[in-house]
Structure 1
Amino acid sequence: MAYMTGYPILGITSNILQLLIVENDDTEFHVLSYYEEPHSAIKDGNLVDANELIDKIKKVYEKTNFFLNTTINDALLVFPDVQATIKGNDLGILLNTEGTEITLTHIRELLRETAKKAQAVNQQLLNIYPISFTVNDVSDIENPQGLIGNSISLKSVSVSVPEGLFMNVLHTIEQSGINVLDIFPAFYCNVTEVASGLNLKTGGNVIDVGYDYTAISIYENGIPKKIRILRQGMKGLADILAKKYQISHDNAYDLLKTSVYLDEKTAEELVVYRLELPTGVLDITEQDLAQTLSAYLEELIVEIRDVLEHFGKQSQFPIIFIGELLKIPGGKEVISSFFDKKEIYFYTSDVVGLREFNVTQLIGCAKLLPIREKLLKQNYETAKTEDIRLEDKNSKKKVQQQEKQKDEKEKKFWDKITTYFFD
């Protein structure tokens, strides 16, 4: 029999499903396991294949449970950045004029009232993230519980996302038998990890070049302020290769990840890929690949610069690139050539065992969890559970109980979706 505790962080990007289990102590966290599965269930910001996503979710949890010899069925979800909207909120409530001890009940009331006002048009409120509290005239309080006051206010950031994607993803996860404990937007997690890892607390422009899209988010004093999504990413690079060389998209993406060198100024006439075509053998050189992709990269970077200029004075913060683009040799050189007068950083989470994976958002989530867990007095760690073995004579009964609980949760799901975390 085995026991374990850890934060189960489930990340969904437009092409990868990730499950990271980390264990926190007072000074750092330790990776217990990490598994990922490629998927094509989300396209253009919409869930197009729920069955595939269910299958992938079950697969990463089965692998994790087998490796750790335990049973995990919870998730702290990192939600994709597709068309996210950020809104700053400042709301207060009056307490007893003689002074009242502030409790979790007051915090939850503030969250509920903020939720009513934070809803974006035609979007679903994803969650609310407290920044600081003010009790009477004392501001910048991280956790007001236990203080005495006659008024309390909350400064927070709310994030909304497309309603259809939100409901479908949440419903699909629950259909997989996984219970979502809390939700964090990917850009917020990225900002948290980048600000912490580079010690750039004042502000920064975080540019995440992903598969389907590029997310540009600005933070100031550790708080996300704005986000923009560009419908260009690594998929566009692969599409160019697929069209030019008449190969499948999957083969083009493999070529992109394994053989491409992006900087045409230093690329060589070295054969890096050989294609067997009906007309004969085609040798592709490093120089040819770099020239083919340079126009697309230039267009993407021009759009990024336009967005940053539109952000105004905040665009003067350092620029930090993260994501898949950094894994391609020559990518950093190409990016730097367009921002020669800017302070540029290229960031990858430096966690032992995870350096080769794109897990910045998951690590950022792990750093956000203890603060939020303490404030809301919730237990986000995986419940200490006994491994259920087939030979256990009570296993059948346990499975039946789990199925019954799952059915009950399914019935309640659509009723609770609009007040998911605040009751």
Structure 2
Amino acid sequence: MAKSGIYVGLDIGTSSVKVVVAEYVDNQMNIIGVGNAKSEGINRGIVVDIEKTVNAIQRAVKQAEEKAGIQIRSVSVGLPANLLEVENCQGMIAVNSESKEITEEDVKNVASAAMVRSVPPERQIVAIIPQEFTVDGFEGIKDPRGMIGVRLEMFGLIYTGPKTIVHNVKKCVEKAGLIIDEVIITPLALTETILSDGEKDFGTIVMDLGGGQTTVAVMHDKQLKFTDVNQEGGEFVTKDISTVLNTSFNNAEALKINYGDAYPERTSAAEDFPVDVIGKDEPIKVDERYLSEIIEARMEQIFNKAKDVLDDIEAFELPGGVVLTGGAASLPGVVDLAQEIFDTTVKLYVPNHMGLRNPVFTNVISLVDYAANLGDVYRAANAAVTGEKLTKTVKSVVKEAPVKETPKQEEPKDAPVYQDVDDESKQDNESITDKVKGFFSNIFD
């Protein structure tokens, strides 16, 4: 069944808080509202001031409401990959019903069985992703609901994260007056959304160059297998320019945007521009090559740190190469520099939506698309994580709030959104080299 309805994504980033409202009609995404507010309570992707973060969320939501012409009630919020861990899981139960027909409750129960494990007190399970089910020994089942069986098994992946990060994100959203529909792991949504089926299957590295941090995610065999966060991002480039040239942060940001290039070979020492320097009455002249060398030094450090981590798991052996996205990825020369350092195929992902053709919006768009594609089996399994009661697949995402012509006009009632998304069947991989077949075996020993 084609997905339809309105979905709202919320991305709480270091540089800005972004909100996207998208309407789906016959599987086609149409973005009808966008909000973008400067973050003041976030440092390196982590909430450090709840009140300031709440204010930023409210400003971004208000912008999106005005553009979309609706009143936003609930959102799908992204969770950063800081200290995220991925584990295999397996659970088995006996089917309870007298008819032995497998229900959503059975899916929830087998997910609960798979979650029985020792989790440190400072961590919590964020999500569980069912990969396949086995019914009475019959393997490879994607959706067991409605089948007859005595024994149900589930194999999947469990994602755990720090309680502090999860709690603070939820607290900020709730204090902003919003209901959380889904808490989505941002790199999971990112890899699922921007990669092709072949890239997901054979393996690809996705690098999100944000303002306050750089997140590396590796997708292989259509599963998010690995994440890592480096606490450096685009704002560090701006700080370096500010420090070296002795100019204000705002001036440094303008220089980066207007004249910056991460690959000095593309620039000229003959081209210069004025820079206002603190303590001097007159601007000084700085050439493009010098500015590019400042930018290159930081970007090279970010890429080398990522390379060290990815070399440890032999990720560059995957044929998909590297996909760059995020606000800092839009800086000219970044792809050239990354290709030189990683010695593999590197490409830039830019969203293809009118008015949002900038990598800075990739995360929030991916959150919306991921939420819209969540299937009933996923929701049933994750009810074991959230503790929610299982009901029919109905989501009240937004309440229509058109401009009132008269004070007496009544507001329309909530319109539920029905979702029924078919899970894609996983294709067998028959042509991967032996080296790729053994990929990540060391992670899940």
Q: TM-score, normalised by structure 1?
A: 0.84
- Contact kept, 8 Å, 1:261 with 1:329, in 2: the verdict is yes
Provide structure 1 residue ranges, at least 5 long, that are not aligned to the other structure. Answer: 399-423
2:222 pairs with 1:222: yes
- Contact kept, 8 Å, 1:388 with 1:395, in 2: the verdict is no
Q: In terms of mean alpha carbon deviation, does 272-281 or 149-158 score higher? A: 272-281
2:397 pairs with 1:382: yes
Q: Distance in 2 between matches of 1:229 and 1:49?
A: 21
Partner of residue 319 from structure 1, selected from 302, 318, 322: 322
Question: 1:7-406 alignment to 2 at 5 Å?
Answer: 7-95=7-95, 100-117=100-117, 119=119, 122-196=122-196, 199-269=199-269, 270-279=271-280, 280-312=282-314, 315-317=317-319, 318-340=321-343, 342-375=344-377, 376=379, 377-380=392-395, 382-385=397-400, 387=402, 392=407
Counterpart of 2:49 in structure 1: which amino acid?
A: D
Counterpart of 2:87 in structure 1: which amino acid?
A: K
- Contact kept, 8 Å, 1:189 with 1:360, in 2: the verdict is no
Q: In terms of mean alpha carbon deviation, does 139-148 or 171-180 score higher? A: 139-148
- Contact kept, 8 Å, 1:100 with 1:148, in 2: the verdict is yes
- Contact kept, 8 Å, 2:8 with 2:397, in 1: the verdict is yes
Q: Distance in 2 between matches of 1:314 and 1:302?
A: 13
SS class of match (1:265): helix
Counterpart of 1:145 in structure 2: which amino acid?
A: R
Q: What's the CA shift for 1:388?
A: 8.2
- Contact kept, 8 Å, 1:65 with 1:72, in 2: the verdict is yes
Q: What's the CA shift for 1:92?
A: 1.9
Aligned in 2, Cα 1:230/1:313: closer, same or farther, shift over 3 Å?
A: closer
Q: In terms of mean alpha carbon deviation, does 320-329 or 190-199 score higher? A: 190-199
- Contact kept, 8 Å, 2:7 with 2:372, in 1: the verdict is no
Provide structure 2 residue ranges, at least 5 long, that are not aligned to the other structure. Answer: 380-391, 414-445
Q: What's the CA shift for 1:242?
A: 1.2
SS class of match (1:35): strand
Q: What's the CA shift for 1:224?
A: 0.5
Deviations 1:226-280 (A, max 9, x none): 1111122112211211111222333323322332112111211212443254333
Deviations 1:99-119 (A, max 9, x none): 611111112223333344374
Q: TM-score, normalised by structure 2?
A: 0.80
Q: What's the CA shift for 1:225?
A: 0.6
SS class of match (1:92): strand
- Contact kept, 8 Å, 1:7 with 1:381, in 2: the verdict is no
Partner residue, 1:406? none
Partner residue, 1:410? none
Q: Distance in 1 between matches of 2:253 and 2:138?
A: 54
Q: What's the CA shift for 1:339?
A: 2.8
Identity of aligned residues (%): 17
Counterpart of 2:361 in structure 1: which amino acid?
A: V
- Contact kept, 8 Å, 1:197 with 1:349, in 2: the verdict is no
Q: Distance in 1 between matches of 2:405 and 2:43?
A: 39
Deviations 1:349-393 (A, max 9, x none): 223331125222233333333442433353345245455859645
Q: What's the CA shift for 1:323?
A: 1.7
What CA RMSD, in Å, does the superposition of the two structures yield over aligned residues? 2.8
Q: Distance in 1 between matches of 2:84 and 2:194?
A: 19
Aligned in 2, Cα 1:350/1:100: closer, same or farther, shift over 3 Å?
A: same
Q: Distance in 2 between matches of 1:97 and 1:390?
A: 54
Aligned in 2, Cα 1:228/1:100: closer, same or farther, shift over 3 Å?
A: same
SS class of match (1:33): strand
Q: Distance in 2 between matches of 1:206 and 1:185?
A: 14
Aligned in 2, Cα 1:296/1:60: closer, same or farther, shift over 3 Å?
A: closer
Q: Distance in 2 between matches of 1:92 and 1:353?
A: 48
Q: Work out the number of aligned pairs and report it.
A: 393
Q: Distance in 2 between matches of 1:316 and 1:362?
A: 27
Q: Distance in 1 between matches of 2:237 and 2:296?
A: 10
- Contact kept, 8 Å, 2:247 with 2:277, in 1: the verdict is no
SS class of match (1:153): strand
**Higher helix content, 1 or 2:** 1
SS class of match (2:53): helix
Q: Distance in 2 between matches of 1:62 and 1:21?
A: 12
